[in-house]
DNA sequence: GCCCAGGGCTATG
DNA sequence: CATAGCCATGGG
């Protein structure tokens, strides 16, 4: 077992804020499956314990090489954001594999996170290679070009998303996503949105979580509701206006604000739902 | 049966 | 530009 000292890091909110889907909470820590590797990781205060993976991979994936305090400072002292920061301080933006991230969020449209996780697990079982971690038998995420067959994908439960994934799998070839990642935000986003099934929201997720674009600001139903309520007097607002506002209000690291607010509002909603009537949301 | 879920595409005003 | 209906599926 290995150990590193970490500051301004919260493993729990980082993993459980909906950026990544392939992790399992154990009695102690988490089993994470990413980049063809399954590894164990556990945080106790400022100690991060891990096994089955190199230290540099941990630092890279969890973005521990980034100046978190400087990023938080750059977001401003917004009242709503301050609350989210206080509750989830240390939530980092992950640095995922672009292919895994893209396919994962192609699975995500109009699905609850619990179900997305199930679907992706089935996808890996059907197309991925078996790998091991200790006595755990798990499946790696299938590589580029290995996820084909709309019917097979539909049988997994992907529904209308099956065709998108099948087609994207045919289009993407070695090095393509890395070339996209090397381009500036606007250009990279346009390229991603040229892929079938990839619209504004999925593109922003891929850019933020796997392509070093901290200005990307994914707008899903939770963010839309929250932003409208907190910044637009509860009025219906287009994604375009929310994007413009977010970029101006939060700055070049707006994506961090998005992830903090998303996690904050979703957690709050969950608690509200269990205590009250779920049908009364909005 | 109803509603909603980390949406995207297409056809219309 | 904005909106409506549609696309499949599962869980509360």
Please check whether residues A28 and A123 belong to one and the same domain.
no
- Structural domain includes residue A234: no
**What gap in Å lies between CA A8 and CA A22, rounded to an integer?**
23
- Do both A57 and A121 map to the same domain? no
Note whether A104 and A160 are same-domain residues: yes
- Residue A273 confidence class, pLDDT cut points 50, 70, 90: low
Number of domains making up chain A: 2
A280 Cβ contacts chain B strand, under 7 Å: no
Q: From the C1' of C8, which residue's alpha carbon is nearest?
A: A159
Cβ-Cβ contacts under 8 Å for A199 (sequence gap 6 or more): A193
Choose one of A13, A42, A66: the last residue of a domain. A66
pLDDT at A272: 63
Per-residue pLDDT, averaged over A49-77, amounts to: 97
Domain end (from A210, A230, A251) = A210
A103 shares its domain with A60: no
Q: Residue A195 and residue A102: Cα distance in Å, rounded? A: 10
Query: With contact defined as beta carbons under 8 Å apart, do A159 and A183 qualify?
Result: no
Q: Closest residue to C3 by CA to C1' distance?
A: A238
- Quick one: A105 and A147 in the same domain? yes
Q: What percent of chain A has pLDDT over 90?
A: 91
Q: Examine the pLDDT at A278 and tell me if it is beyond 60.
A: no
Task: Please give the pLDDT value at position A282.
Answer: 35
Whether residues A137 and A177 share a domain: the answer is: yes
Q: Does any domain span residue A237?
A: no
In a domain, A15, yes or no: yes
Would residue A184 count as lying in a domain? yes
Q: Is the CB of A160 under 7 A from strand C?
A: yes
Residue A222: the pLDDT is: 96
Are A111 and A157 within one domain?
yes
Report the pLDDT averaged over residues A68-84: 97
Is residue A198 included in any domain, yes or no? yes
Q: Which nucleotides of strand B lie under 7 Å from a protein CB? A: 3-9
Strands (E), A53-186: 130-133, 136-139
**Residue A115: CB atoms within 10 Å:** 12
pLDDT in tens, A226-254: 999 999 999 999 999 999 999 999 999 99
Q: Establish whether the CB of A272 is closer than 7 Å to any nucleic acid atom in strand C.
A: no
User: Would you say the C-alpha torsion A123, A126, A132, A134 has a positive or negative sign?
Assistant: positive
What pLDDT does residue A137 have?
87
- Catalytic residue of the set A201, A248, A268, A275: A201
* pLDDT value of position A135: 82
- Domain co-membership, A60 together with A102: no
> For residue A191, is it within any domain?
yes
Which domain does A40 fall in, by range? 2-66
Asked whether A162 and A149 are in contact (CB, 8 A), the reply is: no
Domain-embedded: residue A178: yes
Chain A residues 181 to 240 whose Cβ lies within 7 Å of strand C are 236, 238, 240
Q: Indicate if CB(A113) is under 7 A from strand B.
A: yes
Are A104 and A192 contained in the same domain? yes
The tens digit of pLDDT for each residue in A108-147 reads 999 999 999 999 999 999 999 999 888 888 999 999 999 9
Q: Is A114 found in the same domain as A53?
A: no
Is the whole model's pTM more than 0.85, yes or no? yes
Q: How far is the CA of A72 from the C1' of B7 (A)?
A: 29
Judge whether A52 lies within some domain: yes
Q: β-strands A130-133, A47-51: how paired?
A: unpaired
Q: Which one of A66, A85, A116 terminates a domain?
A: A66
Mean pLDDT (chain A, rounded): 94
- The tens digit of pLDDT for each residue in A156-209 reads 999 999 999 999 999 999 899 999 999 999 999 999 999 999 999 999 999 999
A202 and A115 in one domain?
A: yes
Is A201 catalytic? The answer is yes
Residue A110: which CATH number?
1.10.340.30
- Asked if residue A60 and residue A154 are part of one domain, the reply reads no
Distance between the alpha carbon (CA) of A7 and the C1' atom of C5, Å: 49
């Amino acid at each position: 077992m290995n150990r590193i000292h970490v500051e301004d890091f919260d493993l729990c909110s980082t993993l459980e804020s909906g950026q990544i889907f392939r992790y399992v909470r154990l009695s102690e820590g988490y089993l994470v499956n990413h980049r063809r590797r399954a590894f164990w990781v556990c945080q106790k205060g400022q100690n991060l314990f891990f096994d089955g993976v190199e230290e540099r991979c941990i630092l890279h994936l969890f973005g521990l090489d980034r100046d978190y305090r400087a990023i938080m400072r750059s977001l401003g002292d917004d009242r709503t954001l301050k609350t989210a920061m206080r509750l989830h301080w240390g939530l980092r933006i992950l640095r995922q594999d672009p292919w895994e991230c893209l396919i994962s969020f192609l699975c995500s449209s109009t699905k609850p996170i619990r179900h997305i996780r199930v679907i992706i697990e089935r996808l890996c079982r059907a197309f991925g290679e078996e790998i091991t971690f200790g006595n755990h038998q798990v499946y790696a995420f299938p590589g580029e070009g290995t996820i084909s067959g709309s019917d097979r994908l539909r049988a997994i439960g992907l529904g209308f998303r099956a065709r998108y994934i099948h087609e994207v799998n045919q289009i993407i070839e070695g090095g393509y996503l890395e070339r996209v990642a090397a381009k500036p935000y606007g250009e990279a986003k346009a390229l991603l949105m040229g892929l079938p099934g990839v619209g504004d929201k999925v593109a922003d997720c891929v850019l933020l979580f796997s392509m070093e674009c901290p200005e990307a600001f994914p707008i899903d139903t939770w963010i839309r509701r929250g932003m409208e309520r907190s910044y637009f007097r509860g009025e219906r607002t287009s994604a375009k206006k929310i994007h413009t506002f977010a970029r101006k209000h939060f700055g070049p690291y707006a994506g961090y604000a998005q992830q903090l607010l998303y996690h904050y509002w979703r957690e709050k909603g969950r608690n509200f739902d269990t205590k009250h009537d779920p049908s009364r949301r909005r």
